[in-house]
Amino acid sequence: MILHRQRGMEDALLQAEKQWQQRQQQVADQGSYQPDIAFFMAHRAKWQASGVMQPPDFDHWDTVLATTQQQFTLPHVSYQIQPSVFCAAATCQQQWPASPPPAFNFTVTTIQLNWLVAHESLVLDWLQQLEHAYAGLLLVRRCRWALAEGSDMIAAQCELDLFNLSDVLSDALIGPP
């Protein structure tokens, strides 16, 4: 009888030790997220204000591109919005504009713009205005310039990256806004 009770106590102790180890591992895992949470919380208000925390609204971007083009009286811009790419930070370090990139996930949507213009400065001013208006949300990645065949116009092709950080960390980790 005593050996049976002792065996039961030993099993209970092993179970308690396993639960304790699992809980310690869980706490250590949550603690490893703390730098990411601190980075996120430090930038959260700015990101919310700029719209980075919302899913991309492509109808809105249609309007933004058309309005900005009209403000700068540019020739017609043709654009193509690529499908959004979900990036685990480890695999998309080259997409993030700063170093080091955050350890949380984000999405990137590339927008490709094409014009025929008389001078590069027209496009550069337009792009600077657009990037300034959507600082932190939009990044001008690169532009290519070439003389258009059969004319004295310049063919400009630029790529913009639109960043989105919705659902990067669970609400349980970051708490309410």
Q: Are 84 and 120 in contact (CB under 8 A)?
A: no
Quote the CA–CA distance of 93 and 110 in Å, as a whole number: 15
Between residues 36 and 42, which one has the greater pLDDT? 42
pLDDT for position 93: 59
Question: What is the per-residue pLDDT across 118-132, written as a single tens digit (0 to 9) for each?
Answer: 888 878 888 888 887
Tokens of 100: 């080091």
Q: Are 30 and 36 in contact (CB under 8 A)?
A: no
When pLDDT is averaged across residues 27-31 and rounded to a whole number, the result is: 69
Low-confidence winner among 39-48, 92-101, 130-139, 155-164 (lowest mean pLDDT): 92-101
Q: Where are the alpha helices (DSSP H) in the chain?
A: 2-32, 34-50, 58-71, 120-133, 171-174
Question: What is the per-residue pLDDT across 76-119, written as a single tens digit (0 to 9) for each?
Answer: 678 888 888 777 655 665 666 666 655 667 778 888 988 888 88
- Could you give the count of Cα atoms lying within 13 Å of 11 in the half-sphere of its Cβ? 6
Give the list of residues 6+ apart from residue 1 with CB closer than 8 angstroms, or none.
none
Between residues 163 and 96, which one has the greater pLDDT? 163
For tokens 């001078």, name the residue. 119
Question: What is the per-residue pLDDT across 8-24, written as a single tens digit (0 to 9) for each?
Answer: 889 999 999 999 999 88
In order, the DSSP letters of 89-101 are TTT-TTTSSSSSP
When pLDDT is averaged across residues 38-52 and rounded to a whole number, the result is: 66
Residue 78 phi, psi (nearest 5): -105, 145
- Looking at every residue in the chain, the average pLDDT score rounds to 75
CA distances from 91 to 39, 100, 101, 106, 144 (A): 19, 13, 11, 11, 26
